[in-house]
Amino acid sequence: MEATGMDNRRMAQMLLQIQQLEFTALELNLFLDTHPDDQQALAMFNKVHQDLMQCIRNYEQFCGPLLNFGFSPALQNTWKWAELPWPWELKY
């Protein structure tokens, strides 16, 4: 079934939150690769990790799996992984 416009907007909105948190985590990850003992960066990384995981869990409940190969649960009664729009198809 095609997602409705409303669902699409909600999905894009939830993805945006994930994109923001994951970008922060990625940036801290790269920084820590060359500054491995920076305690402030380590603490920020762990905080962002927690918020990111929460956002991903919310997305998985509302939309479906974000990750393949067992990193996301199949919470709906159909295999949503193959059904949700692909990243290059998402309309805003």
CA-nearest of 31, 76, 26 to 49 is 26
Q: Report in angstroms how near the CB of residue 32 gets to other proteins at its nearest.
A: 9
Q: How far is the CB of 63 from other proteins (least distance, A)?
A: 9
Report d(CA 65, CA 24) in Å as an integer. 22
Name the one residue in this structure whose structure tokens are 């998985």: 60
What's the closest the beta carbon of residue 13 comes to other proteins, in angstroms?
A: 10
Half-sphere exposure at residue 70, Cβ-oriented, CA atoms within 13 angstroms: 0
Contacts with other proteins, residue ranges (CB under 8 A): 12, 15-16, 18-19, 22-23, 26-27, 29-31, 33-36, 65-69, 71, 81, 84, 86-88, 90, 92
